[in-house]
Amino acid sequence: MTRTHDLSPDKHAGRHDHGRATGHDHPHEHPHGHGPGSHSHGSHSHVPKDFGRAFAIGIGLNIGFVIVEAVFGWLGNSMALLADAGHNLSDVLGLAVAWIAAELSKRPPSQRFTYGLRGSSILAALFNAVFLLLAVGAIGWEAILRLFNPEPVAGVTMMVVAGVGIVINAATAWLFFAGRDSDLNIRGAYLHMVADAGVSAAVVVAGVAILFSGWTWIDPAVSLLVVGVIVWGTWGLLRDSTAMSLGAVPRGVDPAAVRAFLASRPGVTQLHDLHIWPMSTTEVALTCHLVIPSGAPGDAFLIEIAHELQHDFGIAHATVQIETNPETPCALAPDHVV
């Protein structure tokens, strides 16, 4: 005998549909610090879901700065400024893609897309990581060529324009500060802006060095440093977004701890077919089979499981199948079966 219970939070706590048990009254909009982007067990942050205004301001500021930086980089013959302008342009595209994905994630489920378009946020993070690495590859190649054939550079222009970049990038990073630990998309935007502020600071230092030493090779050398910083900062985003797109357990969730918690519930003698995966960059889903020979438990048992899964692990969408006869073979019991 089996009973399947969707333990996902429902808008109307206490309502029970046929074949479905409402888990608890914690809404999806308030994950408790253990979503795909979280790394701290036990935190209870309530991060605003909508960063539309932050995206709009960040994109506007960076588009304006890209134009200014590209013009002065061209006029000042600065590869470092042009490299940073190219990087900032990729960030503008990245912010736009992340914003579009955030809006798509709000669309309601349909008959075909039963989870809605929440997964678009994962695709956006993966796109941003891949696109950024491709962009810095082109920048790095040009910097290497310039390193062996250095050209005169306007040091003062580098310093002034990059100084403005520090302010703009730091301000944009601050817009995403609140969501950096709960959403991979927001974390990517935040890290990019922080890295950009640091890169702009490095360009200022390069401008000072060129101004006082006359060593024009410093400009392409700083460009390569910029590339290194970007690759270093992007690697984690690429790793996490790739893993999420393949349905891996989010980094903020300990699967062994989840298994131990479920197996220790009263009456449970066996646990199998446990799956944990990201529905989006902020939401986690779980399914499993629990064998309870003493009989199917009541709603209180299921409500407690749902509450603890969200409160302790950030898993807000759980579906549990109860099996009461351990002698009845389950086709999904072996670990290698999915």
From 223, 245, 267, give the residue that closes a domain.
Answer: 245
pLDDT for 310 equals: 92
What predicted TM-score, i.e. pTM, was given to this entire model?
A: 0.70
Average model confidence (pLDDT) across the chain? 79
Q: Is the model more confident about 72 or about 33?
A: 72
298 has pLDDT over 50? yes
Same domain as 220, residue 282: no
Residue 336 lies in a domain: no
Residue 218 lies in a domain: yes
40 has pLDDT over 50? no
Same domain as 228, residue 87: yes
Same domain as 279, residue 214: no
Residue 45 lies in a domain: no
pLDDT for 149 equals: 80
Grade residue 28 by pLDDT with cuts at 50, 70 and 90.
Answer: very low
Same domain as 301, residue 201: no
Same domain as 277, residue 303: yes
Residue 47 lies in a domain: no
From 245, 276, 298, give the residue that closes a domain.
Answer: 245
Same domain as 119, residue 234: yes
pLDDT for 4 equals: 58
SS (H, E, C) the chain: CEEEEECCCCCCCCCCCCCCCCCCCCCCCCCCCCCCCCCCCCCCCCCCCCCHHHHHHHHHHHHHHHHHHHHHHHHCCCHHHHHHHHHHHHHHHHHHHHHHHHHHCCCCCCCCCCCCCCCHHHHHHHHHHHHHHHHHHHHHHHHHHHHHCCCCCCHHHHHHHHHHHHHHHHHHHHHCHHHCCCCHHHHHHHHHHHHHHHHHHHHHHHHHHHHHHCCCCHHHHHHHHHHHHHHHHHHHHHHHHHHHHCCCCCCCCCHHHHHHHHHCCCCCCEEEEEEEEECCCCCEEEEEEEECCCCCCCHHHHHHHHHHHHHHHCEEEEEEEEECCCCCCCCCCCCCCC
pLDDT for 175 equals: 85
Same domain as 63, residue 7: no
pLDDT tens digits, one per residue of 194-253: 877 777 787 788 888 888 888 878 878 887 887 887 788 788 889 989 999 999 999 889
Same domain as 155, residue 185: yes
14 has pLDDT over 70? no
pLDDT tens digits, one per residue of 162-203: 888 889 888 888 888 877 667 777 777 787 778 777 777 877
Residue 332 lies in a domain: no
CATH code for the domain of 30? 3.30.70.1350
Same domain as 277, residue 163: no
Same domain as 112, residue 228: yes
Q: Which residues form the domain of 260?
A: 2-35+253-323
pLDDT for 6 equals: 64
Residue 130 lies in a domain: yes
Q: Is the model more confident about 42 or about 112?
A: 112
| Report for 55-64, 154-163, 255-264: range of highest mean pLDDT | 255-264
Number of domains in the chain: 2
Same domain as 313, residue 205: no
From 245, 267, 293, give the residue that closes a domain.
Answer: 245
CATH code for the domain of 133? 1.20.1510.10
Residue 329 lies in a domain: no
Q: Is the model more confident about 336 or about 242?
A: 242
138 has pLDDT over 70? yes
Residue 27 lies in a domain: yes
34 has pLDDT over 60? no
Mean pLDDT (whole number) for 284-292: 95
Same domain as 240, residue 257: no
